[in-house]
Every structure is written in structure tokens, then in C-alpha cells.
Amino acid sequence: MDFKNGLKTMFGYNAVVDKGRRKAPKARVQNESKVLSRRNREKLVATIKDISRNDPVVGWALRKHLDYVSTFTFQAKTNDSELNKLIEKAWKKWSKKESCDIAKRHNLNNMMRMFESGKAFDGDSAMLKIKGFKLQGVESDRIGKSRNIPKSYEAITNDEGLILDQFGAVKRYIINKRSDSGQLLYQTSATPNSIVFDGYFQRFDQLRGISPMASAVNTFLDVVECNEALLLKCKKHGMFGLAIMSDGTSESGFGEMDEDTDDEPDADTERYDFEMSMGYKLELDAGDKIDMFESKTPSNEYQDYVTLMLRIALLAFDIPYTFFNSQGSSYSANKQDRAEYELSAGNKRQNNLEVLENIADWVLPELLKDIEGAPSEIDYEFIPQGTPWIDELKEVQASQMRISAGISNRTLECKKKGLDFVDINEQAGREEKTIIKNGVSVVIGQPGQQLIGEDSAE
């Protein structure tokens, strides 16, 4: 027994004692900018982008993540429903790629998806506010200290491209542009009011965001490499289909003549000289036999291993494995997984909501100027895209019970599915007027169900 180490662990934490049985504990805490230098950050981001191009699972995971946290619908919240429609129409017009994107390539919805994609893969992302109420997307690596940075900024800018005040708050972001050769050259500096910036942070002192994919890159790469090796193995098994074994005593038999020259066999002629094809008939010499190569790949053990690795890797996005493969999972398991994921997605969604609110507070006053009767400021809301149904009948019944019990209402239940109860109610009213006008018989509700507006019996 190691008496010295035994005393250490008796009155302390085992995790900080190096017993030589595993990797030694870390000796000091460093700022994330030191742990992940700018050069290593570039390597990490380049590796993540490369695997996302070639691994469909990574691409799918990103798209699924974006579906839950980056898609929203704008709704004006004034007391005038007609004014709300005018404001929402103006916002929709501005959100088109010709109006909101300085490059005229992406509408606002796509810009938000790419903004979140940049956060997920690069660690952080930004959008510049340009004169004329335009937005310019800025990828993470374009924020940094460039070689041709102005002399007035050179001494006060850190490697991350940030100019900080005494408390660590960002005073300016150094934004670069890409040259034709791919080199980053200084473009402009942006104040916090002229840029929308967000990322994934885990520490108070962290200056730049770090991709949540960082912990899963090697796991995804291992799965890809193992799959490639297994595919090669399967192909080899497919190419070498059978083995002919001879006792060496036969003097005549099938294939003894050279197939190319039809002459007597020579040193270059194989005894069984033929090309395999489907339905091929073989006549072997006496005493010879055939063994078929049987491919047992992929094995069940390998499939279990890949499943486990994918389960672990998808945790980088907090995505449950049932999203990827729901076979064998019950309704209850799927429901529970979705509920757990909603908790995780909620915080990420909230960060993007704040980004959209930042943009709306900047743009809306200008849009309201052109709408007659509109105030200079309004209340508004961004409704997240609704979660998909798993079992629609059960979920609708659960919503009805929550409303009946008084622990929810129609507005909240509609929001869960990305819907607006006011719009639904107005549309239902127009439909009912049309039904009455045309004298159409329509059954509404279930037998015995009390309807709102129904005359009660005296």
C-alpha cells in the first residue's frame, strides 16, 4: 500500500491524487483563450466543418438542432387587429433577402439559421448592422486581429479581435474581410450597438464562444473511420467468393487448357482458370472441394458499438438517440425524450429570441413610420416554431384536460405548436360566416360537447 498517497486521499479528494493508474490530474486552471489558442481554434473549426460536409449524421444533427432553436414567427401585439396585420406585413416584407441582407442572398429566417449554425460549429457568430437597416453576416473566424490592423488599434486589440474595457466588457470588435487569396484583411471595427454577437459560453471570463461539437468531434470521426474500414472489409468478402481446394492427385479436369490461347497449360496457366458470375456451374476434379467465403459483417457487436458511439456523439447537441432512430421506442419513451430535449432547447432558443429582439428594436421604428396610425413603439412577440406531433390524438386530449383543469389556456397550447390562437379564432369566425351564408351543414364538436356561444336551455 502507498502510505503517502493513502494519507492524501484519507483527508482530501481522490481526483487530485496521482496514483499512476490513470492520466495525471491537471495542475492549473487557465483562461479558455489559452486552452484553445487562435491557431488551435482554427484547426477545430476546420475539422468540424469538414466532418459536417461528409458525415450525414452530423449534417442531420445540425439541421434538427436548427429546427428547434432558430425558427420564429413575428407577431405584433397592439389592441388593433388590423394594425397588427399591417405591421406584420411590413416586417415580412423587410425580412425578404432583398431588404434585410446587404448581400441580397438570404432572408431573415435563413440568416438566423446560419447565425445559429455558426454558433454551433464555430463557437460564436455575428451580424453587422449596416446603414439603411441592412444586415451583414459575419463568420466567427472573420473576428480577429488581422495583420493590417490600423496602428491605433494594434496595441489594444487582443488575438481574439476584441478591444476590452477595464471590466472585460467589449468596446469594439475587429471585423475582417476575405481577400481573393483567402487572407483575412481589416474591414472595420464595430461597437456593441452596431453588431449582433452571440456564442456558446461556459465560463464568466471566456471571451469567445466554443463549439459544443468540440467534445464530440473525435467520436464522430471514429464512427466514420470504422464505417469506412468495415465497408472495405465487406467489399473484400464480396470480391473473394469461394476457395477451391485440391488433394493434388488429379491429372485431368476442368480448366486444364489455357482459356486465352486454348493451348496446353504452361507456367502461367492456373489449374482452375475462370471468371465467376451469377449461376456459374463448376465441374471439379475428383477429390477437390469448394468452401464459400461467408461475410458476417457488420457483426451485431459492431452495430451495438456504433449505436453507443452515436448516442454519445449526439449529446453534443443534447439530441436524444430516439430522434435519430425511434424503432423499438415506445410512445412514452419518445414523449419523455422530447420533453427533456425541450428543456435544453429552451435556453438556446431564448438566446436567439434576444438576438431577434435586438434586430426588431432597431428596425421596427423605421417600419412604423410608414404605417398610418401606428405608434412609434409597439409590443411584439416572436413565436418559436412548434414541436411536431408524436401522437396527435393523445396530445390534443392532454391539452383539453390542461385547459379544463385551469393549468393552461388555448393561447399557451397553440404556442407550443407554433400557432396563434387569435388568428385561428378569427379564421374560424370567417369560416362560420361563410358556412351560414351558404347554408352548408357542418358538424362542429363532439356529441354532447358544450359549444361556446351555444344557447343554453331555459
Domain-terminating residue out of 258, 292, 326: 292
Residue found by looking up cell 492524501 in the block: 8
Q: Where are the alpha helices (DSSP H) in 315-391?
A: 321-324, 331-368
pLDDT digits (tens, 9 = 90+) for 313-343: 999 999 999 899 887 788 888 888 888 898 8
Residue 142 lies in a domain: no
Final residue of a structural domain among 266, 292, 318: 292
pLDDT at 458: 43
CA distance 89 to 85: 6
**Is 260 part of any domain?**
yes
pLDDT 10s digits, 256-292: 555 566 665 555 555 555 555 555 566 666 766 666 5
The grid cell for 192 is: 456593441
Q: CA-to-CA distance for 121 and 268, rounded, in angstroms?
A: 58
Please give the mean pLDDT across all residues of the chain. 84
Distance CA 327, CA 349 (A): 28
Classify 336 as helix, strand or coil.
Answer: helix
Residues in the chain predicted with pLDDT less than 70, given as ranges, are 1-11, 236-285, 287-297, 443-458
List, as own/partner pairs, every contact residues 34-37 make where C-beta atoms lie below 8 angstroms and the sequence separation is at least 24, other chains included: 36/210, 37/159
Helix (H) or strand (E) holding 67: helix 56-69
pLDDT value at residue 175: 96
The domain total for the chain is 2
Residue 108 falls inside a structural domain = no
Q: Is there a domain that residue 204 lies in?
A: no
**What pLDDT is stored for residue 273 in this prediction?**
55
Question: Which residues of 118-214 form beta strands (DSSP E)?
Answer: 124-130, 134-138, 162-164, 170-178, 184-190, 195-199
pLDDT at 373: 86
Q: Distance between CA atoms of 63 and 60, rounded to whole angstroms? A: 5
Lookup: cell for 272: 482452375
Q: Is residue 380 part of a domain?
A: no
> Which of 233, 258, 292 is where one domain is finished?
292
Separation CA 427–CA 75 (nearest Å): 16
49 assigned to some structural domain = no
**Domain span at residue 250?**
242-292
Residue 73 · residue 240 · CB < 8 Å: no
Asked if the structure places residue 406 within a domain, the reply is: yes
- Examine residue 314 and state whether it is found in any structural domain, yes or no: no
Q: Give pLDDT, residue 295.
A: 58
Say whether 73 sits in a helix, a strand or coil.
strand
The separation between CA 253 and the C-alpha centre of its own chain, rounded to angstroms, equals 63
| All three cell numbers of 269 | 496457366
> What element of type H or E holds 312?
helix 300-314
Alpha carbons 107 and 72: distance in angstroms, whole number: 13
Task: Report the pLDDT value the prediction gives residue 457, as an integer from 0 to 100.
Answer: 45
CA angle 96, 98, 99 (to 5 degrees): 70
Helix (H) or strand (E) holding 292: strand 289-292
Beta-carbon neighbour count of residue 189 at 10 Å? 19
Q: Say how far apart CA 40 and CA 366 lie, in whole Å.
A: 43
Report the alpha-carbon distance of residue 418 to residue 384 in Å, rounded: 6
